[in-house]
Amino acid sequence: MSAQSDPTDPISAPPPGGREPIFFLPPATKWLALAMIAIFAVEQLLGDDAWLWFFSHFAFISIVFWPPGAALPSPAAVHSLFTYAFLHADFTHLAMNAGFLLAFGTFVERAFGTARCLLVFVVCAVVAALAELSLHDGDVLALVGASGAVYGMTGAAVYLMFLMRRGAQRHGLLAFVLVIMGLNLLLGLTGLGDFLAGAQIGWKAHLAGFVVGWILAALLRRRRGAPGAV
């Protein structure tokens, strides 16, 4: 049985005029994606020097964020907990993250609004970086890419979709969650993902982002007090 649209609920209400607003992106999702694309374009146009400048100033680098022997993180590098999400190693990396952001971020922003959508993105990016740092077993961690934040958007969107569906549709969503979680564990624990991507895959950041996105959506949904699908 499918859930009926509730015009008082921004999650299940149809768009104005009955149109599916595929090309009418909400502002936060649109500008986040455009920022990623613009930074990547500048890197490509200006070459290696531009990439090195962006990387040294905005990537999340463990020994810069928390210098060896320091009791606390460096205040000058706290911004990297978020800014690393706007840097991407190659076009495939960018395209995948921007595509998932547009797909799932749009859904989350239409449900919760621009400010809360940005909150989910930022919090998931920060938690993803901290999760990768806390579980990293190497000497130096250097993290770039919006994957942790985008997985957070995915987790939030899946939670909202779960509320709107019943029966077999819910089973399909659970299967989707199990597949992406399983693939992350498989690619991360076996090292296959690193081999295929040519770089280390931040699977811990992905999983942390997804879980935190799911939790944030549940908290925001409860705080908003919107009626759930029945």
- Give the whole-angstrom CA distance, residue 53 versus residue 74: 19
In degrees rounded to 5, what are phi and psi of residue 7? -65, -15
pLDDT confidence of residue 193: 45
pLDDT confidence of residue 23: 56
Residue given tokens 């995915």 in the structure block: 154
pLDDT confidence of residue 164: 76
CA distances from 209 to 57, 67, 80, 122, 155 (A): 23, 25, 16, 10, 8
- Give the whole-angstrom CA distance, residue 102 versus residue 186: 26
pLDDT confidence of residue 171: 66
pTM beyond cutoff 0.85: no
| Residues in a beta bridge with 142 | 61
In degrees rounded to 5, what are phi and psi of residue 60? -90, 110
pLDDT confidence of residue 225: 52
Q: Are the beta carbons of 56 and 101 closer than 8 angstroms?
A: no
pLDDT under 50 in the chain at which residues? 1-22, 192-198, 226-230
pLDDT confidence of residue 226: 46
pLDDT confidence of residue 166: 66
